[in-house]
Amino acid sequence: MPETPWPQVAIVDYGMGNLFSVKHACEAVGLKAALVSSAQDIFSAVGVILPGVGAFGDAMEALARLDLVSVLLDIAASEKPLVGICLGMQLLMTGSHEFGWHRGLGIIEGEVVRLEPPVSCGGTRLKVPQVGWNRIYEISNGSWKDSFLEGLKDGEFMYFVHSFYVKPGDSSLLLSTTRFGDIEFCSSLRRGNVFACQFHPERSGLHGLCIYRNLAARIAQSTAEAHHA
Contact status, residue 196 vs residue 108, Cβ threshold 8 Å: yes
pLDDT at 228: 53
More confident of the two residues 1 and 185: 185
Instruction: Place 227 in a pLDDT band, splitting at 50, 70 and 90.
Output: low
| CA–CA separation, 101 and 113 (whole Å) | 10
Task: Determine whether 111 is an active site residue.
Answer: no
pLDDT at 125: 79
Query: Residue 186 pLDDT more than 90?
Result: yes
Instruction: Place 122 in a pLDDT band, splitting at 50, 70 and 90.
Output: low
| CA–CA separation, 52 and 106 (whole Å) | 16
pLDDT at 48: 97
Q: How many domains does the chain contain in total?
A: 1
Q: Which amino acid would we find at residue 75?
A: I
Of the listed 86, 186, 197, 210, which one is catalytic?
86
pLDDT at 199: 98
Q: Rounded to two decimals, what is the model's pTM? A: 0.93
In a domain, 3, yes or no: no
| CA–CA separation, 26 and 83 (whole Å) | 12
In a domain, 88, yes or no: yes
Of the listed 26, 138, 162, 200, which one is catalytic?
200
- Please provide the DSSP assignment of 95-140 as one string: EE-TTS-EE---SEEEEEEE-PSPEEETTEEEPSSEEEEEEEEESS
Summarize pLDDT for 80-95 with one digit per residue, the tens: 999 999 999 999 999 9
Mean pLDDT of the chain: 92
pLDDT at 119: 64
Looking up residue 211, the CATH number of its domain turns out to be 3.40.50.880
In a domain, 4, yes or no: no
Q: Which residues constitute the domain of residue 47?
A: 9-228
Of the listed 98, 156, 202, 207, which one is catalytic?
202
Task: Determine whether 202 is an active site residue.
Answer: yes
In a domain, 139, yes or no: yes
Instruction: Place 117 in a pLDDT band, splitting at 50, 70 and 90.
Output: confident
**Angle, CA 163 vertex, CA 71 and CA 152 arms, to 5°:** 70
Task: Determine whether 200 is an active site residue.
Answer: yes
Entry field: residues in the chain: 229
